[in-house]
Amino acid sequence: MASPNSSGKSILIVEDNPLNMKLFSAMVAAQGYSVLQAGDGLCGVDLSRREHPDLIIMDVDLPGISGIEATRLLKAAAETRDIPIIITTAYEYDDEIRASGCDGYMSKPISVADFVELIDSLVAQNPEPRYVRRMIEENISAG
């Protein structure tokens, strides 16, 4: 069943494990969100800057740069800092994860119900799809 506020919203999943990517993608799509995928931290940062998803699900252990470093980069940039980011990892929630600027945390293995609830709550904080807000902002600055 799709979430009531998922229409037109996209979620970027940054995950290098194919099984986790498949699981997260299926869960997100089942909730009615569009799915974007990146297999490493740098691709995740680049895709976030290009597509402005409504939420990012970020693994910690990634090739290239870690999910923590990718989160710091995204939270430091004006164009991406307001995108909510959920960190997923098998590690304990610690000071490094907390200091990354993430908006949520979910330990692996995940609880599907809790994960869906966390996703929906963070996306609901921004009820209008980002691409609509971006078009409005572009029109205001052009006019």
What residue spans define the domains of the chain? 10-142
Q: At 128, is the pLDDT very low, low, confident or very high (cuts 50, 70, 90)?
A: low
Reported pTM = 0.84
Range 91-124 burial, b when 16+ CB lie within 10 A, else e: eeeeeebeebbbbbbbeeebeeeebbebbbebbe
CATH superfamily for 10-142 is Response regulator (3.40.50.2300)
Which tens digit of pLDDT belongs to each residue from 35-82? 999 999 999 999 999 999 999 999 999 999 999 999 999 999 999 999
